[in-house]
Each structure stands twice: as C-alpha cells, then as structure tokens.
C-alpha cells in the first residue's frame, strides 16, 4: 500500500452528502447576500445640556449696592490783596500790574478819589524820584494812568496863563496844545523806532516827567526875576530829562537811543523857554 492511500480516509455516503449541502449553502449565501437583516440598535439618549452664559459674571438676585454721590469740589478761598507790599512798601496794584479790583462801581466816590490819588502819588515816586525800579521800566510804570499826566498838563497851562499879563486864554491854549500834541508825537516816534512800550504808558510817562517843570513854573510865577527864572528852569529841565531818560533809552534799540531822546529834550526845552519868556 502506497503512502497516499494510507493518508486518505474514506467517508461515509451520509457525511459526503452533508458536506455537499454545506458547500451549496455557502455558495448561495455568497451569491444572493444574507437572508436576514439584524435589527437596528436603539438610539443613544441625548446627553443633558449645560446652560452657557455669554456674560463673564454670574447674575445675582441681590439688590445693587447704594451709589455714593460724587463730592462737589469747593472753590478755593480768594487770595488776600493787601494794600501795600511788605517787601517794597509799594501799593499792591503797582506791583501786580492788574490795577484796582473790578468791583468798584458801588463804592463811594470818596473811596474812588482816594484810590486814584494814591496811584498818582505812587507813579510819581516811581518816575520822578530815585528808586530801584527805575532800571526796569516795565515794573516802574506797569500800573499807568492818565489822570496824573492830565493834571500836570492842565496845571502847567494854568500857571503859564497866570504869569501872562495879556491874552491869558491864548497862552493856556498854546501851552495845552503844545504839551498834549508833543506827547503824542514823541510816543509815535518811539513806536516807529521799534520801541517796546505801550502807547498810553508812554503818554503817562511823559506827563509825569512834567512835574519838575510844573514846580519851576510855580516858582517863576512867585519870583519875577530873570536870573531866578534861568536857574530854576535849568534845574527843573535837567530833572525832567533825567526822569525820562531811563524809560525812553531802554524802550528802543541802543543804536537809535539818540533819535528817541532828542525830541523829548526838545519839547522840554520849549516848555522851559515858555516859562522864561512869558511875563
């Protein structure tokens, strides 16, 4: 007996038929697909949703806290305005440059007159008499006024008219026109030369510088002597020129100083000539 014959085991007829039937079932299932369909599994339950809020803070049922009212800032107390400066002894208005307080409409007339007189006296000291503020014209006549110059021009015109024996009104008119027009022309001359000065401040300065000539005219009225008149006029003329020199010289360029001072000296010389000539 060979080796193949020994390994092959003969099957029964019934077993062979079972094998054939299984093969036929497998072949039929491959060709026509499965004969049964499995039931679909039930859907899974929907998970519970968590509420999501767009606000970064969790709302609360508590009442809002009471709001505190914003405090209203109180105005600072007004600064004190003494009548005199403790360091220099000068009126506060002349040092600050802002003049008197604005609420002066309801004050008595006598208070207004006293305030104006004190200002005239203060400016007269700053312009005519020696003081440390003469080197700085901006501080010396910052609180300028026109009452003082007007008074000195009128007083000089009246003194010259009283000295004249005839045509007193014409003498007053000539003196007043000469002084007023001369002050305006001299101020325009300084401004045209590039001077750094206010128009009315210059008028005030030139008017205050007439104070020495007023004293000279009054002395000449009382002493009718030619030699006395010459001496008095020379002294008062030098005094007036000395008073006007620092203000006019510092207001313009040093190269144009002579062009600004010469017309001022010429006007004061003309006034001195009127004081001597009128008899």
Distance CA 154, CA 214 (A): 10
Q: Is the separation of the CB atoms in 242 and 127 below 8 Å?
A: no
Query: Average pLDDT in the 266-270 region?
Result: 90
Q: Give per-residue pLDDT as tens, 20-58.
A: 777 777 776 655 555 444 455 555 556 555 555 555 555
Rounded average pLDDT over 199-209:
87
Residues 268, 213 contacting (CB under 8 angstroms): yes
pLDDT at residue number 238? 92
80 has a pLDDT exceeding 60: no
Angstrom CA distances, 151 to 29, 59, 79, 267, 276, stand at: 140, 83, 34, 18, 22
Task: Copy the structure tokens of residue 178.
Answer: 């000469």
Give residue 32's pLDDT: 53
Span 57-80, average pLDDT = 59
Mean pLDDT of the region 87-103: 48
Average per-residue pLDDT in the chain? 74
Question: What Cα–Cα distance (Å) separates residue 211 from each residue in 1, 51, 73, 151, 249?
Answer: 172, 97, 52, 10, 20
Contacting residues for 237 by C-beta, under 8 A, at least 6 apart:
212, 213, 216, 268, 269, 272
**What digits encode the pLDDT tens for the residues 217-266?**
999 888 878 888 899 999 999 999 888 888 887 778 888 888 888 888 89
pLDDT of 234:
92
Q: Among candidates 186, 210, 202, which has minimal Cα distance to 138?
A: 202
């Amino acid at each position: 007996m060979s080796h193949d014959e020994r390994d092959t085991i003969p099957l029964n007829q019934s077993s062979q038929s079972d094998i054939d039937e299984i093969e036929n079932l497998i072949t039929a299932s491959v060709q026509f697909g499965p004969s049964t369909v499995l039931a679909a599994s039930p859907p899974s339950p929907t998970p519970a949703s968590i509420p999501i809020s767009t606000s970064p803070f969790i709302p609360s049922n508590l009442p809002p806290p009471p709001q505190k009212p914003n405090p209203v800032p109180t105005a600072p107390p007004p600064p004190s305005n003494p009548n005199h400066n403790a360091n220099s002894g000068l009126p506060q208005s002349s040092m600050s440059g802002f003049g008197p307080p604005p609420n002066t409409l309801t004050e008595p007339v006598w208070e207004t007159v006293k305030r104006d007189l004190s200002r005239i006296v203060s400016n007269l000291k700053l312009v005519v008499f020696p003081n440390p503020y003469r080197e700085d014209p901006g501080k010396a006549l910052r609180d300028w006024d026109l009452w003082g110059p007007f008074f000195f021009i009128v007083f000089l015109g009246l003194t010259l008219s009283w000295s004249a024996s005839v045509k007193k009104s014409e003498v007053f008119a000539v003196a007043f026109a000469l002084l007023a027009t001369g002050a305006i022309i001299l101020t325009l001359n300084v401004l045209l030369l590039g001077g750094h000065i206010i128009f009315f401040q210059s008028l005030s300065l030139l008017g205050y510088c007439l104070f020495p000539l007023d004293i000279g005219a009054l002395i000449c009225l009382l002493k009718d002597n030619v030699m006395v008149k010459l001496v008095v006029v020379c002294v008062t003329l030098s005094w007036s020129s000395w008073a006007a020199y620092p203000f006019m010289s510092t207001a313009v360029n040093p190269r144009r100083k002579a062009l600004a001072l010469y017309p001022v000296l010429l006007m004061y010389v003309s006034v001195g000539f009127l004081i001597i000539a009128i008899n």
